[in-house]
Amino acid sequence: EVHLEQSGAEVKKPGESLKISCQGSGYDFATYWIAWVRHMPGKGLEWMGIIYPGDSDTAYSPSFQGQVTISADKSVRAAYLEWSTLKASDSAMYYCARASSGGPFDFWGQGTLVTVSS
């Protein structure tokens, strides 16, 4: 059974760094893309970027390019979303989701709630 398990909720202060994770199981992790999606309260879904764990090929939304770093380690079947300097406006729920090349996001993680507050 395909499953994406995300790391737990985080509470951080502005200016701090953060790396959240998404662990895949039940399928060949290296051969499916993993995307990150932001969901802010009362807002829509925003595609942030995507990575292919097999070769770490990565694409970013222009809105998030330079703001976050997406990485993956296929040896531990995990993808990551990282901030070097958090802002209050980064407070949101973040989802990872699996996709084949050009295909839909067919499986989603449970979400990681990030709260950035002084």
Partner 1 sequence: SYVLTQAPSVSVAPGQTARITCGGDNIGGRNVHWYQQKPGQAPVLVVYDSSDRPSGIPERFSGSNSGNTATLTIIGVEVGDEADYFCQVWNPSNDHRVFGGGTKLTVL
Residues interacting with partner 1, by CB under 8 A?
35, 37, 44-47, 50, 59, 61-62, 95, 97, 99, 102-106, 108-111
Smallest separation, CB 24 to partner 1 (Å): 15
CA gyration radius, the chain:
13
Between 68 and 75, whose beta carbon lies closer to partner 1? Answer: 68
How many whole angstroms separate alpha carbon 86 and alpha carbon 10?
12
Between 22 and 78, whose beta carbon lies closer to partner 1? Answer: 22
Contact call for residues 30 and 53 (beta carbons, < 8 A): yes
Smallest separation, CB 95 to partner 1 (Å): 6
Smallest separation, CB 59 to partner 1 (Å): 4
Phi, psi angles (nearest 5°) of residue 7 = -70, 165
- Residue 53 DSSP code: T
Distance, first Cα to last Cα, the chain:
40
Between 31 and 85, whose beta carbon lies closer to partner 1? Answer: 31
